[in-house]
Amino acid sequence: MIQTSKRTLRRFLLDKQHLLQPRKIEVAGREQVLEMIRLLECVQIDPVAAVRANQHLVLSARMANYEPSLLNDLLRDHKVFEYFANAACIIPMEHYPIFQPTRTRIREHMLSAIEALQPVPEQVMDKLQHEGPLPARAFESELRVHGYWENTNAKAKTKATSHAINLLTDSAQIRIVGREGNQRLFDLVSRSVPGELLMAAEQLDAEEAERMMLLKYFRAYRVFEPSDARFGWLRMSAARRRDAIQQFIQSGIVTEVEVEDLKHSYYVLSSDVEKVLAHQDAAAEREDNLMEADAEEITFLPPLDNMLWSRKRLEDLFHFEYRWEIYTPANKRKYGYYAMPILAGDKLIGRMDPRLDRKENLLKVELLHFEPEVKVSAQLRKKIKKAIKSFAKANGADNVQYN
């Protein structure tokens, strides 16, 4: 066990998330983007694009001059794949084998739905075999069925081919291999995943695959604890999660961290302990004063940023309560549909709720809110507005409007 402060641990976490000194990496091409995804382990995907899709905002928060086309190139060239980790995520292709237990579990769960929909799934597979990769619009069907999000008591609205594509994608028989605007391109897994990785996936022992998945989760979270229901991105009971942590501690891979003023422990990889202690020395040299925000670089984090995956960790280490209000009725929202936490140095000081008007090349700021304990000086306001202008430009807007 090691002992440290909240500030030390959050600075270590931000460092490992490449947010302590954001955008110091200058994007030259897709190799730099691929390396960032490898460092983060994965990046969560979400179709909601109040500004841009989550995956692009995550990467642009960490890399200067990032362009979405670079990620699309990696997907097209099979350097990354999309599947379930923290949720639907972009994952480095070399990690394809360790997701085999997840694929097997989902495939078994989807089997009856796929069989019930036949012959449509088989027809989709045949068309991809002969004509792929193809977008969903290439598949025509007059048959309507209940899709994932539909009320089964209402009239069916989803095209049978669209539902088949979703089922086949989730069960990893086909996969997304590119994007053209909002359109996803699909192809057969057997043709679009390198043969050696398919073979490795088949040969990998399930127990070893789960162990490797836990280690990937530890590297992605860096500061973790077993109460997380997504622990290891595996379906594990609370007791099994606690046992897993203890086994990794006993093997010397994981170290327990006692955090000042917290009643429960966090955990880090033992290989990270030296880095944590280095941040402890650095944090001791900085006065814990929120007025420091005046001098810190500003970063806006999208709602599904890796840094925000654990709400409990945010509250414990940053004293910041965050809920994404996208599914909250508009009249009950406190901060807005797409409120993005504002990071200043190692503190979360407020939220911005932006909308990108692509036709007008305009970024509309619906809300700009600061935490009560933040002293909002003229210098800080100026710095925030400059950061918003840069954010707007990075996302294709020439002007900013404050509502």
The CA distance from 274 to 63, in Å, is: 26
CATH numeric code, 1-17+222-288 = 1.10.10
pLDDT in tens, 325-380: 999 999 999 999 999 999 999 999 999 999 999 999 999 999 999 999 999 999 99
How is residue 184 written in tokens?
């996803």
pLDDT in tens, 43-76: 999 989 899 999 999 999 999 999 999 999 999 9
pLDDT in tens, 141-155: 889 998 887 777 788
- Strand-pair partners of 325: none
Fold equal for 1-17+222-288 and 291-402: no
The CA distance from 363 to 68, in Å, is: 18
What's the pTM? Answer: 0.93
Residue 316 DSSP one-character state? I
- Strand-pair partners of 370: 350
CATH 3.30.920 fits 291-402, yes or no: no
The CA distance from 52 to 58, in Å, is: 10
Alpha carbon distances (Å) from 136 to 27, 89, 167, 200, 301: 32, 20, 13, 30, 31
Residue 379 DSSP one-character state? H
Domain boundaries, the chain: 1-17+222-288, 23-204, 291-402
Given the structure tokens 């069916």, which residue do they identify?
156
Q: What is the dihedral of CA 388, 367, 294, 8, to 10 degrees?
A: -100
In this predicted structure, which of 173-187, 195-209, 263-277, 343-357 has the lowest mean pLDDT?
A: 173-187
Query: How many CB atoms lie under 10 A from the CB of residue 305?
Result: 23
